[in-house]
């Protein structure tokens, strides 16, 4: 059963603890769910989307969640797998600076299209939670905060594409 994010307090959701499958339909709802997932992330974040999207990972709350995880746990990792990060890099968004600052804990790759069949956009957190966007150009989807089976399937797809991907040249740390 899917519970609408508007029917609960997103602050009550914890990765690995909340059994709810949460539905969302608007940009604000999507961002509330991403923030809740990243707020309690402890070990690993996997992000797959056609583009590196500031609506997903670029909010102040999402960035704080990533920074907290990467700072508190030096073995934590964040990996992104996208078709292109060019537009976000060109915009100078704070997310790009954050991701570059935490390299090598953060790795970004460009995927090779058409080699792995799976959903176009998703997020996997700590191998137990997920967010799934059936259409990456829309804000609607679902998230499970304690769904290790679904998270494992998405993680397996991510790993297949990760192995075939190439390092993202746009996301290299800038030389000082």
Read off the pLDDT of residues 76-112 as tens digits, 9 standing for 90 and up. 999 999 998 888 888 888 888 889 999 999 999 999 8
**Any domain includes 6:** no
User: Residue 43 is part of which domain span?
Assistant: 19-171
**Any domain includes 164:** yes
**Any domain includes 108:** yes
| Dihedral angle sign, alpha carbons of residues 86, 173, 52, 88 | negative
**Any domain includes 176:** no
**Any domain includes 4:** no
Q: What is the CA radius of gyration of the chain?
A: 15
**Any domain includes 113:** yes
Give the Cα separation of 1 and 21 in Å (integer): 7
| Dihedral angle sign, alpha carbons of residues 147, 150, 119, 1 | negative
Query: For residue 174, what pLDDT band results from cuts at 50, 70 and 90?
Result: low
- Identify the CATH number of the domain in which residue 39 sits: 3.30.870.10
**Any domain includes 7:** no
Could you give the number of structural domains in the chain?
1
> What pLDDT shows up at residue 105?
95
pLDDT tens, position by position, 149-170: 999 999 999 999 999 999 998 8
3-state secondary structure of 9: coil
> What pLDDT shows up at residue 72?
96
**Any domain includes 56:** yes
What's the predicted TM-score (pTM) here? 0.93
């Amino acid at each position: 059963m899917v519970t609408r994010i508007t029917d609960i307090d997103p602050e009550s959701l914890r990765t690995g603890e909340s059994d709810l499958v949460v539905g969302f339909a608007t940009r604000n709802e999507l961002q509330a769910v991403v923030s809740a997932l990243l707020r309690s992330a402890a070990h690993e974040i996997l992000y797959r989307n056609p583009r590196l999207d500031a609506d997903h990972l670029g909010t102040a709350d999402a960035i704080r969640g990533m920074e907290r995880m990467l700072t508190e746990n030096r073995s934590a990792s964040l990996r992104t797998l996208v078709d292109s990060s060019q537009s976000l890099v060109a915009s100078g968004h704070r997310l790009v600076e954050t991701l570059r600052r935490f390299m090598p804990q953060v790795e970004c790759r460009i995927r090779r299209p058409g080699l792995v069949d799976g959903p176009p956009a998703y997020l996997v957190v700590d191998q137990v939670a997920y967010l799934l966007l059936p259409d990456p150009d829309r804000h609607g989807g679902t998230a499970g905060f304690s769904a290790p089976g679904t998270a494992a399937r998405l993680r397996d797809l991510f790993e297949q594409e990760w192995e075939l991907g190439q390092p993202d040249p746009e996301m290299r740390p800038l030389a000082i």
